[in-house]
Structure 1
């Protein structure tokens, strides 16, 4: 094996303490590299076993190995500092002596260092368990598709990876210039690894599994009950002291660091067998003090159970936190119910007991045979009869009448709003649990709850609910603000349940395959929900407009923006009243906010208070309308930003206007699959004044002119090739037992 063309010297520092059983494998893996200039510094931290003797034996055979025998135990941090003082290489790699390197790891690292000259090189790794099991790094996706070098601000998801020293190879002069040191006690590397990533101007990523990290071995701190776990707070203090010395580090990164430290602290507290029971209250109070001391300005709690935890930590509410602890092991959907219940003041303990009873009942129902003629339908997290599942259900009643379909809803009010002849059950009732356990077919436009494990022989049809402009699924691994703590491993578990995935167009087939890798069959059918748009009659459109209260002859403008990850509540980018006034009495503005935004106290963005649609003059709030397809049919023109509604509305071949005041921010936070500004479905505007002028312009240069029509035609050709009114039938025929002679597909 030849040395790289550009000479780069490497020092490997090995802190050694009570690892005699593991040390030979580690040394063999490091010294296997055929690099004469390699320096290996092993620091015997007064190890009471044979580790020191093993080091001396290896050093006698290989002059590249230098052994330092300390006269007093200094801990991992002190041993690393001692080794660093002796290092002479351009780069330093702190390898733990109970772990080992993959074959060729040193060579691969040196070659990358020579090619990129980074401040920090982050390597891929795998976890190895005592039973021999090997698990890839959960956050390895954060290293995918990276340029040669980058900064933490450009790839903030690196903060979600393990923040240990051993998977980071550091330029020695850069490390020395940071004025940081490994801490004393447990979690000693945090005081160095955070500053390394925060200050580095050139980070290089090497995603191959070059390092094997031994987990759950006897004596490891991650597997040891000890009061010393509280030493993590001293390391946090060092990290925030570094941040205080470097005010140029972006505030957004400081917030992510804060989140990461709080998450680690509560994880340590909640992991059985780490913080001794008698010291848990004290540890919690330390976490609370940390939260209040370092909480960034303008910080907002995360969502979900994690947000409940953070609120209790912030308030130093140890008693309430203890009552929350049993819920940590509950499935996510149950935890979501607990969160909703907590806001209504229901005791969490009572909900936990109910959840346990449900799990017991569900287990019993799973012993029953599958009902070959039973199908479950759901949409938007059990919000009612809608979207692709509704279109498939309707067509299945015609073509596969022997298959009985039942819908799942969250509330009785949603059930009462169902079409009168559509059967439904309430979520988490015994009827629901039996339905989920015994149904042969399960149809949804989102994932079913994780607790509802797939039974052998069942058929899951995932319909999705929009053509993707914005990143989805695994493509969000490098978008922490958009991912909002998404569990990507769990997502892959859900994807593994899918038997079929419905695709609306070739673009979606490609995007879904990248975002949701799995062994399912893609049904390239078009979206069933859009069949109605193809087949709607003028009489149907007129009836819908009349029902919505749109005056005869009025131009109906549907404004349907998407949600923003950075906004927890709806924030209008438009002055709706000013727009309606400028357009005049010949226009009706229909406002449809994204369903993620719940309006408090029934308030609506158009100024109405009851959600019925009544609002200010010329404005109708249709956010609560049950069918978005109705709104498409009623509208003469669509105004949207980055919402997938544009792809569905294109089926109608009616004018669209893109209102994109924050395109750069949206791309940065969410990520997009193509440049909408280059391939829009109509004219593009970025200010309210531009939008108003375009909507008011009926000339050839306006929203309905030839230029806009040309853009729309190109958009339709790309995204609507399968929208011929037969999508639902194609799905039903692909997955359900169609009755002989039922229907006749062209």
Structure 2
């Protein structure tokens, strides 16, 4: 069995696919398998994958007869994975040189069942590092409740996990946009030992035509709310009481997403208002009874729970004023 299974769902990414595959197969650490799932790609991705499999025995290709989306495609790949560890990556992104060796060294040193990674977002040839930044006091090896912020970017490529953890989490790979939200939350809940690798291991391509970030914002927010419902269903399946801290973490994330979605300056005000109303309804339905996490979370909950767009606008304006004061030469605090 290989040490690592790299699982790549593939659909409509012909211009970027070779860079992704090469970045995996040219790693200095070679004890890995690459499972590529051709999700009924309409271009030449299937043929490209077959060519790689012919040349490299570490590559296995699964051809799906219909497009099922990233979540189920990842599930099809995972069903055949044999590695001790699993990394789900996207087929239009790529790995940093030496990333796999550094990842396996860190996992073995910490005995982690989940390793969080730093990444860089790339747009137009410029890259911006997005580090994992736990607050002071979080131990080297920790649990989810030690640092709920481990969920703030739920993308699967931000973490390498043991295959056994995926099985233990017991959550299916859901279809639809943002399917990584309930999946990653379930992994974090099930994880016993989480650690960090302070090194950029992954390059995430932003702004690609056809990617989820290019989809209409209001539709993405609707799907985000639908996937957050599955988070609460997972917590329900564990029979956790309303005041369980994990429910508080789920609601903190939902509220923050609502504030981010409602604040997008490139969207017309009626669209932002509709997004706010959707998240307010979701909060009242799922999160009102859950415990707040700190004063800031409690205030945001009151604003969202009010359902008032004007209350939100006043809160956002006050926040902008506070930021201006802090940046001014004579500002305080």
User: Shorter chain as normaliser: what TM range?
Assistant: 0.7 to 0.9
Q: Does 1:256 align with 2:243?
A: no
What is the CA distance between 1:61 and its match in structure 2?
1.4
2:282 match? 290
1:334 match? 321
Equivalent pair of 2:229/2:286 in contact (CA under 8 Å):
no
5 Å-filtered alignment, 1:201-212, equals: 201-212=192-203
Equivalent pair of 2:178/2:224 in contact (CA under 8 Å):
yes
Distance 1:285 1:214 in 2: 31
Distance 1:37 1:242 in 2: 34
Q: Does 1:185 align with 2:181?
A: no
Which of 236, 241, 250 pairs up with 1:244?
A: 236
Which of 69, 73, 97 pairs up with 2:63?
A: 69
2:313 match? 324
1:232 match? 224
CA RMSD of superposed structures (Å): 3.3
The structure, 1 or 2, with the larger RCO (C-alpha pairs under 8 Å, 6+ apart) is 2
What is the CA distance between 1:109 and its match in structure 2?
1.5
Distance 2:321 2:28 in 1: 55
Equivalent pair of 1:149/1:202 in contact (CA under 8 Å):
yes
Say if 1:41 and 1:273 are closer, same or farther in 2 by CA, change over 3 A.
Answer: farther
Say if 1:272 and 1:224 are closer, same or farther in 2 by CA, change over 3 A.
Answer: farther
Distance 1:77 1:272 in 2: 30
- Max Rg structure: 1
Equivalent pair of 1:181/1:191 in contact (CA under 8 Å):
no
- What SS class does the counterpart of residue 170 from structure 2 fall into? coil
Say if 1:86 and 1:128 are closer, same or farther in 2 by CA, change over 3 A.
Answer: same
Equivalent pair of 2:12/2:41 in contact (CA under 8 Å):
yes
Distance 1:189 1:267 in 2: 18
2:187 match? 196
Say if 1:9 and 1:335 are closer, same or farther in 2 by CA, change over 3 A.
Answer: same
Equivalent pair of 1:124/1:211 in contact (CA under 8 Å):
yes
Per-residue Cα deviation, 1:330-352 (whole angstroms, up to 9, x for no partner): 6845268xxxxxxxxxxxxxxxx
What is the CA distance between 1:254 and its match in structure 2?
2.4
1:9 match? 3
Say if 1:134 and 1:233 are closer, same or farther in 2 by CA, change over 3 A.
Answer: same
Between Structure 1 and Structure 2, how many residues are aligned? 331
Structure 2 gap segments, 5+ residues each? none
Superposition TM-score, scaled by structure 1 size: 0.41
Q: Does 1:141 align with 2:133?
A: yes
Which of 111, 122, 126 pairs up with 2:116?
A: 122
Q: Does 1:449 align with 2:318?
A: no
Q: Does 1:86 align with 2:75?
A: no
Distance 2:239 2:16 in 1: 43
Which of 100, 103, 109 pairs up with 1:109?
A: 103
What is the CA distance between 1:84 and its match in structure 2?
0.9
- What SS class does the counterpart of residue 21 from structure 1 fall into? helix
Higher helix share: 2
Which of 191, 208, 214 pairs up with 1:217?
A: 208
What is the CA distance between 1:101 and its match in structure 2?
0.7
Superposition TM-score, scaled by structure 2 size: 0.86
What is the CA distance between 1:169 and its match in structure 2?
1.0
Q: Does 1:156 align with 2:153?
A: no
5 Å-filtered alignment, 1:337-486, equals: 449-450=325-326, 452=328
Equivalent pair of 2:94/2:202 in contact (CA under 8 Å):
yes
2:93 match? 99
Structure 1 gap segments, 5+ residues each? 1-6, 337-447, 455-459, 466-746
Per-residue Cα deviation, 1:545-579 (whole angstroms, up to 9, x for no partner): xxxxxxxxxxxxxxxxxxxxxxxxxxxxxxxxxxx
Equivalent pair of 2:9/2:90 in contact (CA under 8 Å):
yes
- What SS class does the counterpart of residue 86 from structure 2 fall into? strand
